[in-house]
Amino acid sequence: MGMRPIIEPFRVHTVQSIAMPSREVREEALRRSHYNLFGLRADEVTIDLLTDSGTGAMSTRQWAGMMLGDESYAGSSSFFRFEEVVRDLTGFSEVIPTHQGRAAEKILFATLVDDGRVVLNNNHFDTTRANVEYRGAEARDLVVAEGSDPALVAPFKGNMDIDALRSSLEADGDRVPLVMVTITNNAGGGQPVSMANLRAVRQVCDEYDIPVFLDACRFAENAWFIKTREDGYADKSPKEIAQEMFSLADGCTMSAKKDGLANIGGFLALNDERVASECRNLLILTEGFPTYGGLAGYDLEAIAQGLVEVLDEDYLRYRTRSVEYLAEKVAAGGVPIVQPPGGHAVFVDARALLPHIPLQEYPAQSLAVEFYREGGVRGVELGSLAFGIPQEDGTEVPAAMELVRLAIPRRMYTQSHIDYVAEVVLDVATRAESMGGYRIVEQAPWLRHFTARLEPVPVGSGG
Protein backbone atom coordinates (compact mmCIF):
# COMPACT_ATOMS: atom_id res chain seq x y z
CA MET A 1 0.00 0.00 0.00
CA GLY A 2 1.32 3.44 -0.92
CA MET A 3 1.96 6.07 1.70
CA ARG A 4 -0.87 8.48 2.26
CA PRO A 5 -0.09 12.15 1.66
CA ILE A 6 1.11 14.14 4.65
CA ILE A 7 -1.71 16.67 4.88
CA GLU A 8 -1.76 20.21 6.21
CA PRO A 9 -2.52 19.64 9.92
CA PHE A 10 -5.00 22.52 10.04
CA ARG A 11 -8.09 23.73 8.25
CA VAL A 12 -8.57 27.21 6.83
CA HIS A 13 -10.36 29.63 9.15
CA THR A 14 -9.94 33.00 7.41
CA VAL A 15 -8.88 33.59 3.81
CA GLN A 16 -7.00 36.34 2.03
CA SER A 17 -7.28 36.66 -1.74
CA ILE A 18 -4.14 36.74 -3.85
CA ALA A 19 -3.39 38.82 -6.93
CA MET A 20 -3.24 37.41 -10.45
CA PRO A 21 -1.45 40.20 -12.36
CA SER A 22 -1.20 39.81 -16.14
CA ARG A 23 2.12 39.39 -17.92
CA GLU A 24 2.02 43.06 -19.01
CA VAL A 25 1.52 44.19 -15.43
CA ARG A 26 4.43 42.01 -14.33
CA GLU A 27 6.73 43.37 -17.06
CA GLU A 28 5.88 46.93 -16.11
CA ALA A 29 6.37 46.16 -12.40
CA LEU A 30 9.84 44.76 -13.14
CA ARG A 31 10.85 47.91 -15.04
CA ARG A 32 9.45 50.19 -12.36
CA SER A 33 11.26 48.32 -9.56
CA HIS A 34 14.58 48.36 -11.47
CA TYR A 35 14.64 44.57 -11.56
CA ASN A 36 14.84 44.41 -7.77
CA LEU A 37 12.03 42.19 -6.46
CA PHE A 38 12.06 43.99 -3.10
CA GLY A 39 10.65 46.94 -5.06
CA LEU A 40 7.49 45.09 -6.11
CA ARG A 41 4.19 45.83 -4.44
CA ALA A 42 2.75 42.73 -2.80
CA ASP A 43 -0.40 43.04 -4.93
CA GLU A 44 1.78 42.52 -8.00
CA VAL A 45 2.84 39.09 -6.70
CA THR A 46 0.85 35.84 -7.05
CA ILE A 47 2.86 33.49 -4.82
CA ASP A 48 5.19 35.32 -2.48
CA LEU A 49 8.19 33.22 -1.52
CA LEU A 50 10.43 36.21 -0.83
CA THR A 51 10.82 35.12 2.76
CA ASP A 52 9.39 32.91 5.47
CA SER A 53 10.00 35.76 7.90
CA GLY A 54 6.89 37.15 9.55
CA THR A 55 4.75 35.98 6.63
CA GLY A 56 3.14 32.90 8.17
CA ALA A 57 -0.44 32.39 9.27
CA MET A 58 -1.26 32.58 12.97
CA SER A 59 -3.50 30.06 14.69
CA THR A 60 -6.86 30.70 16.33
CA ARG A 61 -5.10 30.28 19.69
CA GLN A 62 -2.56 32.95 18.78
CA TRP A 63 -5.31 35.36 17.74
CA ALA A 64 -7.15 34.55 20.96
CA GLY A 65 -3.91 35.23 22.84
CA MET A 66 -3.73 38.64 21.20
CA MET A 67 -7.06 39.56 22.79
CA LEU A 68 -5.49 38.72 26.17
CA GLY A 69 -2.56 41.08 25.54
CA ASP A 70 -1.72 43.21 28.56
CA GLU A 71 -0.51 46.59 27.29
CA SER A 72 0.88 47.82 30.62
CA TYR A 73 4.07 49.78 30.02
CA ALA A 74 5.92 48.04 32.85
CA GLY A 75 5.36 44.58 34.27
CA SER A 76 2.86 43.41 31.63
CA SER A 77 1.47 39.96 32.39
CA SER A 78 2.00 39.13 28.70
CA PHE A 79 5.72 39.62 29.26
CA PHE A 80 5.75 37.15 32.14
CA ARG A 81 3.95 34.53 30.07
CA PHE A 82 6.46 35.13 27.24
CA GLU A 83 9.39 34.96 29.65
CA GLU A 84 8.14 31.70 31.14
CA VAL A 85 7.79 30.04 27.72
CA VAL A 86 11.25 31.23 26.59
CA ARG A 87 12.89 30.12 29.86
CA ASP A 88 11.22 26.72 29.71
CA LEU A 89 12.35 26.24 26.11
CA THR A 90 15.88 27.63 26.27
CA GLY A 91 16.86 27.32 29.91
CA PHE A 92 18.34 30.85 29.70
CA SER A 93 17.52 32.96 32.74
CA GLU A 94 17.69 36.44 31.16
CA VAL A 95 14.99 37.05 28.54
CA ILE A 96 15.01 40.31 26.62
CA PRO A 97 12.25 40.91 24.06
CA THR A 98 13.11 42.88 20.90
CA HIS A 99 11.07 44.01 17.91
CA GLN A 100 12.85 41.47 15.69
CA GLY A 101 15.97 39.35 15.41
CA ARG A 102 18.32 42.02 14.14
CA ALA A 103 17.57 44.23 17.13
CA ALA A 104 18.69 41.39 19.39
CA GLU A 105 21.87 41.12 17.28
CA LYS A 106 22.50 44.86 17.37
CA ILE A 107 22.17 44.98 21.15
CA LEU A 108 24.28 41.87 21.76
CA PHE A 109 27.09 43.00 19.43
CA ALA A 110 27.03 46.56 20.74
CA THR A 111 27.68 45.03 24.16
CA LEU A 112 30.24 42.32 23.28
CA VAL A 113 31.88 43.27 19.96
CA ASP A 114 34.03 46.23 18.96
CA ASP A 115 36.70 47.35 16.53
CA GLY A 116 39.19 44.68 15.45
CA ARG A 117 37.27 41.74 16.93
CA VAL A 118 36.32 38.57 15.07
CA VAL A 119 32.96 36.80 15.32
CA LEU A 120 32.92 33.18 14.19
CA ASN A 121 29.77 31.54 12.83
CA ASN A 122 28.93 28.60 10.57
CA ASN A 123 27.45 31.20 8.17
CA HIS A 124 26.48 34.70 9.21
CA PHE A 125 23.00 35.61 8.05
CA ASP A 126 23.02 38.94 6.18
CA THR A 127 21.75 41.13 9.05
CA THR A 128 24.07 39.33 11.46
CA ARG A 129 27.07 39.96 9.23
CA ALA A 130 26.08 43.60 8.74
CA ASN A 131 25.68 44.13 12.48
CA VAL A 132 29.09 42.58 13.19
CA GLU A 133 30.78 44.64 10.48
CA TYR A 134 29.00 47.78 11.63
CA ARG A 135 30.90 47.35 14.92
CA GLY A 136 34.17 47.35 12.96
CA ALA A 137 34.66 43.61 13.49
CA GLU A 138 35.20 40.71 11.10
CA ALA A 139 32.36 38.22 10.49
CA ARG A 140 34.11 34.94 9.69
CA ASP A 141 32.21 31.96 8.24
CA LEU A 142 33.44 28.47 9.15
CA VAL A 143 30.83 26.11 7.68
CA VAL A 144 32.01 22.58 6.80
CA ALA A 145 33.27 22.18 3.23
CA GLU A 146 30.27 20.05 2.23
CA GLY A 147 28.06 23.05 3.12
CA SER A 148 29.37 24.89 0.07
CA ASP A 149 28.72 22.05 -2.37
CA PRO A 150 25.08 22.52 -3.44
CA ALA A 151 24.57 19.13 -5.11
CA LEU A 152 26.10 17.01 -2.35
CA VAL A 153 23.56 15.11 -0.24
CA ALA A 154 24.58 15.08 3.42
CA PRO A 155 22.44 15.20 6.56
CA PHE A 156 24.03 18.17 8.38
CA LYS A 157 25.51 20.55 5.86
CA GLY A 158 25.06 23.44 8.28
CA ASN A 159 27.70 22.11 10.67
CA MET A 160 30.61 24.23 11.82
CA ASP A 161 34.03 23.06 10.64
CA ILE A 162 35.50 22.16 14.03
CA ASP A 163 39.12 22.11 12.79
CA ALA A 164 38.67 25.57 11.28
CA LEU A 165 37.05 26.76 14.51
CA ARG A 166 40.03 25.47 16.47
CA SER A 167 42.59 27.11 14.17
CA SER A 168 40.68 30.40 14.19
CA LEU A 169 40.66 30.35 17.98
CA GLU A 170 44.33 29.32 18.07
CA ALA A 171 45.30 32.24 15.82
CA ASP A 172 42.81 34.91 16.92
CA GLY A 173 41.23 33.62 20.12
CA ASP A 174 42.01 36.77 22.09
CA ARG A 175 40.03 38.78 19.52
CA VAL A 176 36.95 36.51 19.53
CA PRO A 177 34.29 37.73 21.98
CA LEU A 178 31.73 35.06 21.02
CA VAL A 179 31.11 32.17 18.65
CA MET A 180 27.71 31.87 16.98
CA VAL A 181 26.01 28.88 15.39
CA THR A 182 23.08 29.55 13.06
CA ILE A 183 20.37 26.88 13.28
CA THR A 184 19.28 26.09 10.69
CA ASN A 185 21.96 27.65 8.54
CA ASN A 186 19.85 30.08 6.49
CA ALA A 187 22.56 31.64 4.32
CA GLY A 188 23.99 28.17 3.65
CA GLY A 189 20.72 26.78 2.26
CA GLY A 190 18.62 26.20 5.39
CA GLN A 191 20.80 23.25 6.30
CA PRO A 192 20.68 21.83 9.82
CA VAL A 193 23.42 21.54 12.44
CA SER A 194 23.73 18.24 14.30
CA MET A 195 23.69 17.88 18.06
CA ALA A 196 27.12 16.26 17.85
CA ASN A 197 28.44 19.35 16.09
CA LEU A 198 26.90 21.70 18.65
CA ARG A 199 28.49 19.61 21.37
CA ALA A 200 31.89 19.82 19.65
CA VAL A 201 31.57 23.62 19.27
CA ARG A 202 30.77 23.84 22.97
CA GLN A 203 33.77 21.74 23.89
CA VAL A 204 36.27 23.73 21.80
CA CYS A 205 34.85 27.04 23.02
CA ASP A 206 35.12 25.83 26.62
CA GLU A 207 38.83 25.19 26.05
CA TYR A 208 39.24 28.83 25.04
CA ASP A 209 36.66 30.13 27.50
CA ILE A 210 34.55 31.78 24.81
CA PRO A 211 30.74 32.02 24.99
CA VAL A 212 28.57 30.27 22.40
CA PHE A 213 25.39 31.89 21.09
CA LEU A 214 22.81 30.28 18.86
CA ASP A 215 21.22 32.28 16.06
CA ALA A 216 18.09 30.29 16.83
CA CYS A 217 15.56 31.60 14.28
CA ARG A 218 14.72 28.09 13.01
CA PHE A 219 15.45 26.05 16.11
CA ALA A 220 12.32 23.87 15.71
CA GLU A 221 13.11 22.91 12.12
CA ASN A 222 16.67 22.13 13.23
CA ALA A 223 15.31 19.98 16.07
CA TRP A 224 13.13 18.06 13.59
CA PHE A 225 16.13 17.29 11.37
CA ILE A 226 18.06 16.04 14.39
CA LYS A 227 15.08 13.83 15.28
CA THR A 228 14.81 12.36 11.80
CA ARG A 229 18.50 12.23 10.81
CA GLU A 230 20.75 11.87 13.86
CA ASP A 231 21.29 8.62 15.73
CA GLY A 232 19.74 8.48 19.16
CA TYR A 233 17.07 11.15 18.71
CA ALA A 234 14.19 9.36 16.95
CA ASP A 235 12.31 8.80 20.20
CA LYS A 236 12.87 12.25 21.67
CA SER A 237 10.26 14.98 21.25
CA PRO A 238 11.16 18.11 19.24
CA LYS A 239 10.92 20.08 22.47
CA GLU A 240 13.38 17.82 24.30
CA ILE A 241 15.77 18.10 21.38
CA ALA A 242 15.42 21.88 21.26
CA GLN A 243 16.08 22.09 25.00
CA GLU A 244 19.21 20.01 24.57
CA MET A 245 20.42 22.29 21.74
CA PHE A 246 19.95 25.39 23.88
CA SER A 247 21.64 23.70 26.85
CA LEU A 248 24.86 23.64 24.81
CA ALA A 249 24.90 27.44 24.43
CA ASP A 250 25.26 30.47 26.69
CA GLY A 251 22.60 32.47 24.95
CA CYS A 252 20.71 33.03 21.72
CA THR A 253 19.36 35.66 19.39
CA MET A 254 15.97 34.85 17.92
CA SER A 255 13.65 36.21 15.29
CA ALA A 256 10.12 35.24 16.32
CA LYS A 257 9.12 35.89 12.70
CA LYS A 258 10.41 32.43 11.83
CA ASP A 259 9.92 29.63 14.34
CA GLY A 260 8.07 31.98 16.70
CA LEU A 261 5.17 31.63 14.22
CA ALA A 262 4.48 35.34 14.70
CA ASN A 263 4.38 38.25 12.29
CA ILE A 264 6.81 40.37 14.30
CA GLY A 265 9.10 40.03 17.29
CA GLY A 266 12.29 38.52 18.57
CA PHE A 267 14.38 38.15 21.65
CA LEU A 268 17.81 37.90 23.14
CA ALA A 269 18.19 35.31 25.90
CA LEU A 270 21.28 34.50 27.91
CA ASN A 271 22.62 33.42 31.28
CA ASP A 272 25.20 36.13 32.01
CA GLU A 273 23.48 38.65 34.28
CA ARG A 274 26.12 41.34 33.81
CA VAL A 275 25.94 41.20 30.00
CA ALA A 276 22.14 41.07 30.20
CA SER A 277 22.04 44.18 32.29
CA GLU A 278 24.20 46.09 29.77
CA CYS A 279 21.95 44.81 27.00
CA ARG A 280 18.86 46.03 28.86
CA ASN A 281 20.37 49.51 29.14
CA LEU A 282 20.75 49.60 25.37
CA LEU A 283 17.30 48.08 24.96
CA ILE A 284 15.75 51.00 26.79
CA LEU A 285 17.62 53.38 24.50
CA THR A 286 16.50 51.83 21.20
CA GLU A 287 13.65 49.34 21.76
CA GLY A 288 11.78 50.13 24.95
CA PHE A 289 11.30 49.07 28.54
CA PRO A 290 12.57 45.53 29.28
CA THR A 291 9.09 44.06 29.72
CA TYR A 292 8.00 44.94 26.18
CA GLY A 293 11.18 45.65 24.15
CA GLY A 294 9.63 47.23 21.08
CA LEU A 295 6.61 44.92 21.03
CA ALA A 296 2.98 45.25 22.02
CA GLY A 297 1.74 43.04 24.84
CA TYR A 298 -0.36 41.18 22.29
CA ASP A 299 2.74 40.38 20.21
CA LEU A 300 4.33 38.78 23.27
CA GLU A 301 1.22 36.60 23.65
CA ALA A 302 1.30 35.56 19.98
CA ILE A 303 4.99 34.63 20.23
CA ALA A 304 4.58 32.72 23.48
CA GLN A 305 1.82 30.61 21.89
CA GLY A 306 3.78 30.27 18.63
CA LEU A 307 6.84 28.91 20.42
CA VAL A 308 4.65 26.13 21.81
CA GLU A 309 2.83 25.30 18.54
CA VAL A 310 6.00 25.22 16.44
CA LEU A 311 7.23 22.14 18.31
CA ASP A 312 4.14 20.11 17.41
CA GLU A 313 5.24 16.97 15.55
CA ASP A 314 2.38 17.04 13.03
CA TYR A 315 3.25 20.62 12.20
CA LEU A 316 6.97 19.93 11.77
CA ARG A 317 6.33 16.82 9.69
CA TYR A 318 4.02 18.77 7.34
CA ARG A 319 6.34 21.78 7.32
CA THR A 320 9.46 19.91 6.25
CA ARG A 321 7.45 17.73 3.86
CA SER A 322 6.01 20.69 1.94
CA VAL A 323 9.52 22.01 1.32
CA GLU A 324 10.74 18.57 0.32
CA TYR A 325 7.73 18.14 -2.00
CA LEU A 326 8.60 21.29 -3.97
CA ALA A 327 12.24 20.21 -4.06
CA GLU A 328 11.35 16.74 -5.40
CA LYS A 329 9.16 18.18 -8.15
CA VAL A 330 11.69 20.66 -9.50
CA ALA A 331 14.65 18.31 -9.10
CA ALA A 332 12.74 15.59 -10.98
CA GLY A 333 12.48 18.08 -13.87
CA GLY A 334 16.25 18.49 -13.90
CA VAL A 335 16.48 21.83 -12.09
CA PRO A 336 19.64 21.95 -9.94
CA ILE A 337 18.89 22.71 -6.29
CA VAL A 338 20.71 22.61 -2.99
CA GLN A 339 20.44 19.04 -1.75
CA PRO A 340 18.97 17.85 0.46
CA PRO A 341 16.29 20.57 0.76
CA GLY A 342 16.53 22.61 3.97
CA GLY A 343 13.84 23.36 6.49
CA HIS A 344 12.19 26.48 5.15
CA ALA A 345 13.05 26.88 1.51
CA VAL A 346 14.13 25.38 -1.77
CA PHE A 347 17.35 26.95 -3.03
CA VAL A 348 17.77 26.82 -6.80
CA ASP A 349 21.39 26.71 -7.94
CA ALA A 350 21.65 29.45 -10.57
CA ARG A 351 25.33 28.84 -11.18
CA ALA A 352 24.56 25.32 -12.36
CA LEU A 353 21.42 26.30 -14.29
CA LEU A 354 22.90 29.41 -15.97
CA PRO A 355 26.61 28.63 -16.51
CA HIS A 356 26.69 31.07 -19.45
CA ILE A 357 26.03 34.11 -17.23
CA PRO A 358 29.26 35.40 -15.64
CA LEU A 359 29.16 35.66 -11.83
CA GLN A 360 29.79 39.40 -12.22
CA GLU A 361 26.38 39.62 -13.91
CA TYR A 362 24.41 38.10 -11.04
CA PRO A 363 22.97 34.88 -12.51
CA ALA A 364 20.85 34.25 -9.41
CA GLN A 365 19.24 37.67 -9.70
CA SER A 366 18.49 36.95 -13.33
CA LEU A 367 16.77 33.70 -12.37
CA ALA A 368 14.75 35.34 -9.59
CA VAL A 369 13.51 37.95 -12.06
CA GLU A 370 12.43 35.22 -14.50
CA PHE A 371 10.39 33.34 -11.87
CA TYR A 372 8.45 36.53 -11.33
CA ARG A 373 8.15 37.35 -15.01
CA GLU A 374 6.93 33.83 -15.82
CA GLY A 375 4.36 33.27 -13.10
CA GLY A 376 4.29 36.07 -10.53
CA VAL A 377 6.38 33.95 -8.15
CA ARG A 378 8.68 36.08 -6.00
CA GLY A 379 11.79 34.45 -4.56
CA VAL A 380 14.97 36.15 -3.43
CA GLU A 381 18.52 36.24 -4.70
CA LEU A 382 21.10 34.89 -2.26
CA GLY A 383 24.19 35.10 -4.41
CA SER A 384 26.64 37.79 -5.42
CA LEU A 385 24.09 40.60 -5.28
CA ALA A 386 23.50 39.82 -1.58
CA PHE A 387 26.95 38.54 -0.62
CA GLY A 388 29.47 39.70 -3.28
CA ILE A 389 32.26 41.83 -1.85
CA PRO A 390 33.03 45.03 -3.77
CA GLN A 391 36.79 45.75 -3.99
CA GLU A 392 38.52 49.11 -4.07
CA ASP A 393 39.39 48.76 -7.76
CA GLY A 394 35.71 48.47 -8.68
CA THR A 395 35.70 44.69 -9.19
CA GLU A 396 33.90 42.25 -6.89
CA VAL A 397 34.67 38.97 -5.18
CA PRO A 398 31.59 36.85 -6.00
CA ALA A 399 29.66 34.88 -3.38
CA ALA A 400 30.48 31.21 -2.73
CA MET A 401 27.12 30.15 -4.20
CA GLU A 402 24.57 31.69 -6.59
CA LEU A 403 21.19 30.72 -5.16
CA VAL A 404 17.59 31.77 -5.56
CA ARG A 405 15.70 31.02 -2.40
CA LEU A 406 12.04 30.06 -2.63
CA ALA A 407 11.06 30.37 1.03
CA ILE A 408 7.78 28.83 2.10
CA PRO A 409 5.77 30.90 4.59
CA ARG A 410 4.52 28.81 7.52
CA ARG A 411 0.97 27.39 7.35
CA MET A 412 0.02 29.65 4.44
CA TYR A 413 0.05 28.00 1.03
CA THR A 414 -1.64 24.73 0.07
CA GLN A 415 -0.33 21.88 -2.02
CA SER A 416 -1.84 23.30 -5.23
CA HIS A 417 0.01 26.57 -4.66
CA ILE A 418 3.21 24.56 -4.38
CA ASP A 419 2.33 22.61 -7.55
CA TYR A 420 1.90 25.92 -9.37
CA VAL A 421 5.32 27.16 -8.18
CA ALA A 422 6.96 23.94 -9.35
CA GLU A 423 5.50 24.39 -12.83
CA VAL A 424 6.70 27.99 -13.05
CA VAL A 425 10.22 26.95 -12.05
CA LEU A 426 10.24 24.13 -14.59
CA ASP A 427 8.94 26.40 -17.38
CA VAL A 428 11.64 28.98 -16.69
CA ALA A 429 14.33 26.29 -16.67
CA THR A 430 13.41 25.21 -20.22
CA ARG A 431 14.55 28.60 -21.53
CA ALA A 432 17.61 29.02 -19.30
CA GLU A 433 19.99 29.40 -22.26
CA SER A 434 18.21 32.50 -23.53
CA MET A 435 18.54 34.37 -20.24
CA GLY A 436 21.10 37.15 -19.74
CA GLY A 437 22.73 38.88 -16.78
CA TYR A 438 22.30 42.16 -14.91
CA ARG A 439 24.45 45.05 -13.80
CA ILE A 440 24.04 47.29 -10.76
CA VAL A 441 23.17 50.90 -11.51
CA GLU A 442 22.84 52.10 -7.93
CA GLN A 443 23.66 50.52 -4.54
CA ALA A 444 23.82 51.23 -0.80
CA PRO A 445 26.97 50.57 1.29
CA TRP A 446 25.24 47.88 3.46
CA LEU A 447 22.69 45.21 2.61
CA ARG A 448 22.63 46.55 -0.92
CA HIS A 449 20.37 43.81 -2.29
CA PHE A 450 17.34 45.34 -0.55
CA THR A 451 17.51 48.58 -2.52
CA ALA A 452 19.96 48.18 -5.43
CA ARG A 453 18.77 49.24 -8.87
CA LEU A 454 19.72 46.98 -11.75
CA GLU A 455 19.45 46.82 -15.50
CA PRO A 456 19.67 43.89 -17.90
CA VAL A 457 22.96 43.37 -19.72
CA PRO A 458 22.00 42.88 -23.37
CA VAL A 459 22.40 39.20 -24.26
CA GLY A 460 25.49 38.64 -26.41
CA SER A 461 27.13 41.94 -25.42
CA GLY A 462 30.07 40.01 -23.95
CA GLY A 463 29.64 41.72 -20.60
Interacting residue with ligand PLP among 140, 257, 329, 410 (CB under 6 A) = 257
> Is beta strand 380-382 parallel, antiparallel or unpaired with respect to 403-407?
antiparallel
Using an 8 Å Cβ cutoff, are 20 and 376 in contact?
yes
Residue 147 · residue 105 · CB < 8 Å:
no
Smallest Cα–Cα separation from 33: which of 438, 446, 398, 426?
Answer: 438
222 makes contact with ligand PLP (CB under 6 A) = no
- Note whether 341 and 150 are within 8 A (CB): no
Q: Which is nearer to ligand PLP, 303 or 353 (CB)?
A: 303
Pick between residue 138 and residue 396 the one whose CB is nearest to ligand PLP: 138
Q: Which region holds residue 453: left if phi is over 0, alpha if psi is between -120 and 50, else beta?
A: beta
Near ligand PLP by CB under 6 A: residue from 36, 76, 122, 128: 128
Q: How far is the CB of 255 from ligand PLP (least distance, A)?
A: 3
How far apart CA 132 and CA 444 sit, in angstroms, is 17
23-32 and 363-375 helices cross at what angle (nearest 10)?
140
Q: Which residues of 392-412 are buried (b: 16+ CB within 10 A; e: fewer)?
A: eeeebebbbbbbbbbbbbbbe
Taking CB under 6 A as the criterion, the residue among 83, 161, 215, 301 binding ligand PLP is 215
Please identify, among the stretches 35-43, 125-133, 145-153, 453-461, the one whose residues bind ligand PLP according to the rule CB under 6 A: 125-133
Binding of residue 217 to ligand PLP (CB under 6 A): yes
Any contact of residue 191 with ligand PLP (CB under 6 A)? no
The CB-of-316 to ligand PLP minimum distance in angstroms stands at 17
Distance of alpha carbon 193 from alpha carbon 320, whole angstroms: 15
Shorter beta-carbon distance to ligand PLP: residue 180 or 311: 180
Q: Determine if 376 is a binding residue for ligand PLP (CB under 6 A).
A: no
**Distance from C-alpha of 343 to C-alpha of 17, rounded to nearest angstrom:** 26
Q: Which amino acid makes up residue 168?
A: S
Q: How far is the CB of 97 from ligand PLP (least distance, A)?
A: 12
- For residues 94 to 123, the per-residue mask of contacts with ligand PLP, x marking binding by CB under 6 A and - elsewhere, is ------xxx---------------------
Does residue 131 interact with ligand PLP by CB under 6 A?
A: no
Beta strands 179-182 and 266-270: pairing type?
Answer: unpaired
Residue 286 CA to its chain's centroid (Å): 24
User: Does 53 contact ligand PLP by CB under 6 A?
Assistant: yes
Binders in 62-101 for ligand PLP, by CB under 6 A: 100-101
Rounded to a whole number of angstroms, the minimum distance from the CB of residue 428 to ligand PLP is 26
- Which residues of the chain form contacts with ligand PLP (CB under 6 A)? 53, 100-102, 125, 127-128, 182, 186, 215, 217, 255, 257-258, 266
